Amino acid sequence: MAVKKSFLTACMWTLIITLGAAWIPYMIREKDNAAHPLAVFKQAPLRHMTNGNIVDILIGVPLREKISHAEWNRSVLAIELSVPADSGRPEAWFEDVRKLIQVSFQQLDNVNRLLIQIVEWSSGNKKLLTAMDIRGSDEWLSVSLSQLDYADPFHDELWRERLRVSFTSAWEERFGKASSFSAKSSKS
Span 100-147, pLDDT tens digits: 999 999 999 999 999 999 999 888 889 999 999 999 999 988 888 888
φ/ψ of 86, rounded to 5, equals: -110, 5
Do 63 and 148 share a domain, yes or no?
yes
Show the beta-strand stretches assigned E in the chain: 66-73, 76-84, 113-122, 125-135, 166-167
* Measured distance CA(113)–CA(107) in Å, rounded: 14
Number of domains present in the structure of the chain: 2
Residue 131 belongs to a domain = yes
Is pTM beyond 0.95 here?
Answer: no
Residue 59 belongs to a domain = yes
Do 176 and 87 share a domain, yes or no?
yes
H helix runs in 36-164, sequence order: 54-59, 90-102, 139-143, 157-162
Residue 46 belongs to a domain = no
Do 92 and 136 share a domain, yes or no?
yes
Do 161 and 90 share a domain, yes or no?
yes
Domain that holds residue 9: 1-38
